[in-house]
Chain A
Amino acid sequence: MRMIARRLGFYLVTAFVAVSVDFWMPRIIPGNPVDAILAKMQGVSITKSTIAALELQFGVNTKASLWSQYVHYLAQVLHGNFGISTSNGFVPVTTVIGGALPWTLGLVGVSTLISFCLGTVIGALVAWRRGSWLDNLLPVTTFFQAAPYFFLAFLAIDLFSIKLGWFPSGGAHQNLDFPGLNWTYLSDVLDHAVLPALTIVVASGAGWIVSMRNVMITTMDEDYVLIAAAKGLRERRVVWYAARNAVLPSVSGFALAIGFIVSGALLTEIVFSYPGLGLLLVNAVGDNDYALLQGIFLIITFAVLTANLLADFVYVFLDPRTRQEA
């Protein structure tokens, strides 16, 4: 468990860095964020106290020292106070994010899981059957690795939604209000999630295929695999032994990949008008809603760190060596 403790410490430091980035960004980059917000808010009546609150948040016209501002900021974040969203009728940022977060978590979480499992299995198969027709998958994966997520999303909509009419082209559900958790609603939600999920699975799966194949090929040349085969174990069993060991780098590489996948998934959401954080993020930039922008960045970072921690647990579960130190 020392490994988990060490990783946990690292994630806490990273979370602290993300919070600090949010604090220092408006103070280091030249320009006056409050003026920019107010410029976007023309026509909306703003009270003096709102302006004062904004100035406090971004460190404009304040006499307090940077240090005391920083401490104050950290305390606010610790209490879950991320400020108010100027483009959403001055409700707290956490409320706005809370409405969008479940959609993103559901979509990205499930499709990342599917793509990891599917990609790893396919990668192991390609390595096992090296030299067969499966090798033809490799150039295809090269293309999908390089193609932008949102371009694949365009193609998915054009093909499966417009030409074939199988799935809806955007949104997360048909009903405007929430009818309760019944089957009609759930199937509608699933129906809307298929194409965005497919896009994310195809785009991110290619990377898992390649990394699994490459490690698997090296692993299959190891002596213990040769011995397993020489002992006369069934071929499936031997491949299983090799695959169990070959999957470790993919799991530990999860940390690197998840950032890319989340970035791509946010773009996919935008193409599908999916009501998640991606759409929120882009609208926030357009409206100069800095508090919301910062809040989304923090939430996404926290989610990515949590996903990493889960991957660490899986790693400890898969690799007995990490459990043996004690």
Chain B
Amino acid sequence: MAPGIAARQRALRLPRSPKIVAGLAILGFFVLWAVIGPVVAPYSPDQNFANAPVPLPPSAAHWLGTTALQQDVFSQLLVGGGDTVLVALVSGVIATALSVGIGVTAGYLGGLADDLLSMIANIFLVLPALPLLIIMIGFLGRSSSNDILVVGVIISITGWAFGARVLRAQTLSLRNREYVDSAKIIGEKWWRIVATEILPNLTPVVATSFLFTVLYGVGTYTALAFLGLVNPNWSWGGMLFYAQNSNAEISGYWWWFVPPGLAVALLGTSLVLLNFGIDEFINPRLRAAGLTRRAGRKAGRRPEFALTAVLKTSGGQS
């Protein structure tokens, strides 16, 4: 088989998993939402409508009803996606860069550098993130905590350690492979070995740790906005903040808090699905056995206890 075809097959194998397809589809939908949401929103999210004393349930004019200030929930929902996605991406990129830099360096160098860097990563893992973020924002004050980029950066400070730990462990297992040894004997610089021999083999792990930190960013930004600590523009967490301040959950104004909450949960679900898909790609045994079991019955084999059936099916499911 020509190497080009092999490479293409490898690239194609990933998206066939239903989890990855579903995850990518939902994620793509939300990214699109974040970009064009503000354009297609029927009203301005700040505009006040009918002078009613209570939030109005969904109607033809306001598809998702109105808030206590008689603003259109649907428009807020459409506009609110941009910030959440942007902050999550910013913190995901910065945190992943940090975890690759620190994790791979620690794993590759070993010795004292490893001890020190691992220690720092472990400390960051154990320190409770949300209280730490809250006191950081408390001291930063309103002006800078309303800057989306600043928020993304401080979220990434608390979100890199998990990825660093996983990457360090993977690097440790790659460090003594023969191809790395041969590169050393040739006299390659250490950073060149890391970049060309080790990093390419870490791609799936880097991908999961990136998705994990983006997920962390979505959750954390929503939490901080929900607490009313960072609300520069409309965001889903901010909508929940205002909903809670008006006691929407006690008053039964479900149309106010269900849409933003569901949006966050679905965006998060897509990231978790993608992560699971990649995990199953790395470790095929993790797949739910529905398909293999059916295929097994077709092939006349009963799944035995404590054994993962390995079957070749024509659909390329394996």
Contacts and interface: CB of A to CB of B under 8 A. Distances in A.
Contact of B240 (A21, A150, A284): A150
Contact of A293 (B135, B141, B269): B135
Contacts of B264: 146-148, 151
Contacts of B223: 148, 150, 263, 267
Nearest to B288: A135
Interface residues of B, number: 65
Contacts of A21: 127, 132
A155 B254 CA distance: 9
Interface stretch (A84-92, A294-302, A315-323): A294-302
Contacts of B135: 22, 25, 290, 293-294, 297
A293 B126 contact: no
Contact of A296 (B131, B240, B273, B303): B131
By DSSP majority rule, is chain A's interface helix, strand, loop, or mixed?
helix
A300 to B, nearest CB: 5
B103 to A, nearest CB: 15
By DSSP majority rule, is chain B's interface helix, strand, loop, or mixed?
helix
B273 A25 contact: no
Contacts of B31: none
Interface string B232-274: 0000000010011000111110100110011011111101110
Given A147-B268, A162-B252, A263-B131, A229 B138 contact: no
A169 B286 contact: no
A256 B137 CA distance: 23
Contacts of B272: 142, 145-146
Interface string A2-18: 00000000110110011
Contacts of A150: 223, 226, 240, 244
B295 to A, nearest CB: 11
A7 to B, nearest CB: 10
Given A13-B119, A218-B285, A255-B125, A148 B222 contact: yes
Contacts of B281: none
A229 B306 contact: yes
Nearest to A162: B252
Contacts of A36: 141
B254 A158 contact: yes
B290 interface: yes
A151 B139 contact: no
Contact of A256 (B125, B228, B286): B125
Interface of B: 119, 122-123, 125-132, 134-141, 162, 215, 219, 222-223, 226-229, 240, 243-244, 248-252, 254, 257-258, 261-262, 264-269, 271-273, 276, 279, 283, 285-286, 288-290, 292-293, 303, 305-308
By Cβ-Cβ distance, the 5 closest A-B pairs, closest first, are A146-B268, A263-B130, A151-B261, A131-B289, A147-B265
Given A14-B123, A263-B223, 5 more contacts: A17-B123, A157-B249, A163-B252, A221-B307, A255-B125
